[in-house]
Amino acid sequence: MKYAEEYLERTESAVRLLFKAVDGYLEPLRAGIKPIFVSGLPYGPEQDAQYAAWCIENADALEEAKAAQRAFRTETFALDTICGAILQIAEKGLEIYSENTQVLETWTAKIPPSLARFCVGRVVRSTPLGLIVYAARNQHTHFNDSQLRKASASVFANLASEHGYSSSALDPAFDLDNPSLTSYASNVTALIGWRSFEKYQNDMCSMLGLQYRS
């Protein structure tokens, strides 16, 4: 395949199916976020009593929500595997077809010139989208390695620290030292908004200098 357009066209059906699979894995999570207790009372005994009565009234729904959350937790790595496949397709497209040769000044000390092709796209947490795709794909593919190489580790350091809150604490969803995470593929694709084919395709076209066609 000589052209980026052809690459996107010939991978489209696969990527659409992958996003459909992502949606299927997320369905239990959506079911697990309800019901939600809302009260107009201030914290204290009255609200506690109201909450206790609410729990009794919604006992069946709460148990269903807990079951849905448990079902989702058992499939988190499966979801990461699907998201990792999406990142793999995107990363390969950028590797082959990106024509960018410039590295943002803020990244010249963090990545080698050879990664300039990934220094494209909208900026998320002070990081070009292409670099996020590159690093997240690497982390997922090499999740069993003791540590990532400097460039990918620098991307995750940004994602963990540049969260915009008035706190120096690292975002655990992107902290590479978080012992509860094996792959960050699902967290990353959620952060960049890749929960639909249309969003993915729009970003890929933008990074490759193509006009998006729905």
pLDDT at 110 over 80: yes
- Write the DSSP symbol of residue 8: H
Angle of CA points 164, 78, 176, to nearest 5°: 35
**Pair of tokens at residue 12:** 């489209």
More confident residue, 57 or 201: 201
CA distance 92 to 197: 17
Q: How confident is the model at residue 33 (pLDDT cuts 50, 70, 90)?
A: low
Cis bond leading into 42, ω under 30°? no
pLDDT of residue 183: 96
The arithmetic mean of pLDDT across residues 67-74, rounded, is: 70
**pLDDT (tens digit per residue) in 183-200:** 999 999 999 999 999 999
- Which residues does residue 123 pair with via DSSP β-bridges, in sequence order? 128
Q: How confident is the model at residue 201 (pLDDT cuts 50, 70, 90)?
A: very high
To which H or E segment does residue 60 belong? Answer: helix 59-74
**pLDDT (tens digit per residue) in 127-174:** 999 999 999 999 999 998 888 999 999 999 999 999 888 778 999 999
User: DSSP string covering 152-209, please?
Assistant: HHHHHHHHHH-S-SS--S--TTT-TT-TT-S--HHHHHHHTT-SSHHHHHHHHHHHTT
Q: To the nearest whole number, what is the mean pLDDT of the chain? A: 91
Q: How confident is the model at residue 40 (pLDDT cuts 50, 70, 90)?
A: confident
